Structures are given as structure tokens and as C-alpha cells.
Amino acid sequence: MQIINTVSDLRKAIKIWRDSGETVAFVPTMGNLHAGHLQLVSQAKEKADRVVVSIFVNPTQFGVGEDFEAYPRTELEDQQKLEDACVDLLFLPAVADIYALDALTTITVAGVSEDYCGAFRPGHFSGVATVVCKLLNIVQPNMILLGLKDFQQLTVIKMMVRDLNIPVEIIAVETVREPNGLAMSSRNGYLTEEEKKIAAQLYKTLCGARDAILAGAKDYIEVEQQALRVLQQAGFLVDYFSVCRGSDLKKAKPEDVDLVLLVAAKLGKTRLIDNIYFYK
């Protein structure tokens, strides 16, 4: 596995592959890798000749009081996991390699960034969109693989790629879960063992709401309120639980058929997000 730190060296390496007609898949990460990330890598290896993974803890997507400095950095362990997964190239840039000191340009995807996590984390999705656009411009892959767990983030990136005519295929990969249903996340490491058991209620509540809708429930406000009650009783401080259209994250109506249930809630000091995407 090549480990490259600069944009110029990365482009030289990828040009060799392109000149020989090989396809490139890209998996962007912030490190602290778990089975969910490795599932993205596995899918990438099936779909492309070469796989590039980036590890970059992006400062612009962290808000005031969030955990940028405390965000877990496990570079050596991550490198070994990617080596074992037969990744071709690991891109490990410094902040100065991605952002010029006097950078003035940011990207905001209106309409899908303001609500849900966007309302609780102002500027977060602008930071996400900007860094993903920059990484796509740097790597110029044939495809990018992203997890469905961050459904709003996935939607923001899809809209950005569409609106800016970026020539890349987006491949969404199913969420990898713990045996109790808890979605794998780098932030799960903040949970105590007792909190991990309680955290499983998040996915159970999503499944219950989905099953109620599939069984014919049409009052989505009542579905949301019931889910809120269940989570609050379990000990969560809920930011939101929403029944949305899968295509644009607008509030779902009974006639909509592609639905996503979005939830974000705090358990102790840890903020967790999850979702279920389904057709009825």
C-alpha cells in the first residue's frame, strides 16, 4: 500500500493507473476505522481496479464546542487495517494540503443542509460539501463509496455532485451494525458499556416506526411522537425523529413511497445518528 501525503504525489500515482486504463474507487474517511469503513473498502475492491482511501479529520465540519481536538486519531492502527484490506493507496494530507491559509471558497447545498443535523450543527454540511468536493477534485475517481448511515450527508453530496456536474458515480453502502443493532460509528467509542446496551434502542425504535408505517399508519406526526416517547423513556435526549421523503428529505406525506426515518439523539455525552430507508 502506498502512503502519500501531498496532492502532487497523489496525482502522479493515480495518473499512472489512469494511463493504463484502470478504474479508481475512492473512500473518504476521518480515520478511527471500524467494520463499516472496511465494508466500504471491500465494496470498492469489487467495483474498481484500484482503491484510494483518505484519512483526513476535516476541521471545517466541526462546530464551536464540538470534538475536533478530541476526535479519536488512530493512524497506525488504521494503516494496518487498510494494509490488511489490500488498499492500493492511502492519502494522508495535512490541513495545509487541503486548505490554503487564505481560502475564501466554501460550498453550501441549500434545501437539504439546513434541517435535522444541519439545524443542530450550523455550518457542518458546508464543511462536508467543501471538503468532499476538494477531495473529488484531487483524486478524480470513477466512483466514491459512502455509507448510508449518514443519510443526510449522503443526500448533500449527491445534490452537490449533480448540481456541479462532477463526473463521479456515487455508490451507497448499507450500514454495518453491532449484533444488538447499534450502527457502527467512530463516536461509539465514547459510550460506556451500559450506554452501548441502551443505544441499541435507537435502531429498535426506527424499526418499530417503519413497521407501523408498513402496517398502514398514515399519521406520521403520531409515529414521530411515539418514537420520541420511547427514546426519552430509554434515557435519550432526542434532537429529532422525522419521517421524510428519501429523495429530498422533505417531510413525508402519506402518498410518498420512498421514505427515510431520521433520528439523532444524545446518550450521556455522545451524539448518535441513525436512519432506515425503505419503500412502502
| 3-state SS, one letter per residue, for 114-148 | CCCHHHHCCCHHHHHHHHHHHHHHHHCCCEEEEEC
Whole-angstrom Cα distance, residue 246 to residue 152? 10
Burial class (CB in 10 A: 0-12, 13-18, 19+), 243: buried
Q: What are phi and psi of 159, to 5 degrees?
A: -65, -40
Contact of 8 with 1, CB cutoff 8 Å: no
Question: Per the residue annotation, which of 14, 24, 26, 37 is the catalytic one?
Answer: 37
Whole-angstrom Cα distance, residue 97 to residue 54? 13
Whole-angstrom Cα distance, residue 223 to residue 216? 11
Q: List the end-to-end C-alpha distance of the chain, in Å, as a whole number.
A: 44
Cell numbers describing residue 70: 478530541
| 3-state secondary structure at position 48 | coil
Q: Is 37 a catalytic residue?
A: yes
Note the Cα 14 to chain centre separation in Å: 25
Closest C-alpha among 82, 93, 79, 86 to residue 11: 93
Contact of 202 with 235, CB cutoff 8 Å: no
Which positions are annotated as active-site residues?
37
